[in-house]
Amino acid sequence: MENQNLSNRIKNFRILKGFSQEALAEHSGLSVRTIQRMENNDRIPNADSLKKVAEALGISIEELSKNTKSLSDLQYLKALNLSALSSLIFALWLGTTSPIVLICSCFIPAIMWVWKKDQIEGIDKLSKT
């Protein structure tokens, strides 16, 4: 896993949340310029700013400030969550309850989990929930 600094983590979580810099500024109560400075590593955020950004992103300060997963890892975990659900929705959309489709909805996430189980931190927690 790649080692990311705080500015990259702020940007990655913002992108994962689907926020623009302007939207993050609005949700956090900070200025757009402050968000830009944080993401460009021009400014080390104080504790209050870091707390506001974390709350706006829906994560804890610890999660934001620790060495976290890369954006691709977070997207993979998101895809793993959605894979079973999307297979079932697709089956219902087709109007079929074929055993093959229902079995695939269980095997696809299992295959995805086995493929990356040793590479992505937190994937074991996700599989237990």
Looking at per-residue confidence, does 82 or 13 come out higher? Answer: 13
* The pLDDT value given to residue 124: 64
CATH code of the domain occupying 6-65: 1.10.260.40
What is each CA distance from 102 to 61, 74, 85, 87, in whole angstroms?
39, 26, 10, 8
**For residue 80, which of 100, 118, 110 has the smallest C-alpha distance?**
110
Q: What is the pLDDT of residues 40-72, one digit of tens each?
A: 988 788 889 999 999 999 998 888 877 545 656
Listed by start position, the domains of the chain span 6-65, 71-128
The pTM for the full model equals 0.50
Please give the average per-residue pLDDT across 82-102, as a whole number: 72
Cβ-contact 40, 47 below 8 angstroms = no
Q: Is the dihedral of CA 85, 128, 71, 58 positive or negative?
A: positive
Amino acid at 36: Q
* Count of C-beta atoms within a 10 Å radius of residue 53: 26
